[in-house]
Structure 1
Amino acid sequence: MEIYLLASAWAAYFFVHSFLAATQVKNWVEKTLPTVFPFYRIGYNIIAFSSLLPLLYGSISAPNQALPLPAWTWYLGIICLASGLVLLVRAFQAFDGAEFLGIKKEASPLLVQKGMYQYVRHPLYFATIVLIFGLFLCLPTQKMGLTLVISYIYIGIGYRLEERKLIAIFGAEYQAYQQRVKALIPFIL
């Protein structure tokens, strides 16, 4: 039963994450609650981060059914974890951190194509793919396997939703970028 609860919690997290990121929702909040809207981005980040921590804890915590993987995969997991963290930091370097967090008002949107964005259109998703794979290899349990599968399904859906939004914002410029740069995994996918 606990595994179904965890799966439902991850699904709810990803739904809320995408729902709150939707342009229509942001526009509705801006029109309906104009005094709240300047704090939308910071509120979004607080909700995302504070709800992510209990989910990760639930995915990692015992009791949990271990899956049989060779011992050497733990070392590969550590390499993936470290690489994923480095990739996250590198991906964030393309942004103004205060704007991204919602501490500072967002400027007009610019299509970032430098740094990691010259190799992959969604480096935050790429970093997440590597990081979660590393977590699974370090903690090869049913819960982490479930977390990996649900996360990868969401990434497959989430990046497509984001692509639609970016095409609506940047049009032909983004479509040309799509032709040059892979979406999720550099040079592959």
Structure 2
Amino acid sequence: MLALAWLAYFALHSLFASLGFKQRLIGSWPALAAWYRLLFNLLAVLLLIPPLALLYSWPGEMLWQWQGIGRWLSGGASLAAIAGFFWSLRYYDSKEFIGLRQLSDRRSGSQIDQEAFTISPLHRFVRHPWYSLGLVIVWSQSMNGAYLLSAILITLYFVLGSRLEEQKLIAFHGDVYRSYCAKVPSLLPLPWKYLQKDEAALLAKKAQK
């Protein structure tokens, strides 16, 4: 049941995030255009309730639990990832991300499908820093049966979701984003593969043209 709940959530989240579904829905109900992002975020939160309820209702047998210095290290990794997430917010337009700017600008039609190409300091090392930080948080916890299953499914979805997201970014930014993908790894940072500051600035400038 837990696996089915997560799979249903991932399927619905991917469907609602897809450009095709968004464009068809707004084609039928144009008044939804400015509201789409906000409603998408609200649904993404509400639809998490069933899998999370199952996760904590039936935890299963404890498989491993961090002890001693391992507990400190795992806790430190989680806190560092959370701090990295909040620090990275300064490089995003929070109103745009939530969906409030679309409402205030009264966007319609193709205006809502503008996918920004943001290269924050973390984007110089991984293409999807929020997913990467999320994986640190997920895998630094003690594991019971239900949590391990959830961690595996979430990891697989992050891999698949990052690829679906990149298809949209390539559709909007073309060769600029392809060049970025060639130079920066997706989820796991590699010491020999990253963007210098001047390279990041140049790519960001090209994406704005």
Q: Determine if the TM-score, normalized by the shorter chain, exceeds 0.5.
A: yes
User: Whole-Å Cα distance in 2 between the matches of residues 133 and 151 of structure 1?
Assistant: 10
Match of 2:120 among 114, 118, 128: 114
Partner of 1:98: 95
How far 1:115 moved relative to its partner? Answer: 2.5
Partner of 1:127: 133
Matches within 5 A, 1:52-91: 52-69=48-65, 71-72=67-68, 73-91=70-88
How far 1:186 moved relative to its partner? Answer: 1.8
- RMSD (Å) for aligned C-alpha atoms: 2.1
Unaligned runs of 5+ in 1: none
Q: Are residues 70 and 132 of structure 1, via their aligned partners in 2, closer, same or farther at CA, if it must alter by over 3 Å?
A: closer
Partner of 1:155: 158
Query: Is the contact made by 2:5 and 2:51 (CA closer than 8 Å) also made in structure 1?
Result: yes
User: Whole-Å Cα distance in 2 between the matches of residues 36 and 63 of structure 1?
Assistant: 39
Query: Is the contact made by 1:83 and 1:130 (CA closer than 8 Å) also made in structure 2?
Result: no
Cα deviation 1:39-91 (Å, max 9, x = unaligned): 11011100111222443343234552111345244333312321221232233
User: Whole-Å Cα distance in 1 between the matches of residues 74 and 54 of structure 2?
Assistant: 19
Query: Is the contact made by 1:6 and 1:55 (CA closer than 8 Å) also made in structure 2?
Result: yes
User: Whole-Å Cα distance in 2 between the matches of residues 53 and 85 of structure 1?
Assistant: 21
Query: Is the contact made by 2:88 and 2:120 (CA closer than 8 Å) also made in structure 1?
Result: no
How far 1:183 moved relative to its partner? Answer: 0.8
Larger C-alpha radius of gyration, 1 or 2? 2
Q: Aligned AA for 1:122?
A: H
Q: Aligned AA for 2:93?
A: D
Query: Is the contact made by 2:126 and 2:185 (CA closer than 8 Å) also made in structure 1?
Result: yes
Q: Find the residue that maps to 2:187 and give its secondary structure.
A: coil
Moved more, 179-188 or 160-169: 179-188
User: Whole-Å Cα distance in 1 between the matches of residues 99 and 64 of structure 2?
Assistant: 43
Query: Is the contact made by 1:166 and 1:174 (CA closer than 8 Å) also made in structure 2?
Result: yes
Q: Give the paired residue count.
A: 182
Match of 2:47 among 51, 56, 67: 51
Partner of 2:19: 23
Q: Identity of aligned pairs, percent?
A: 27
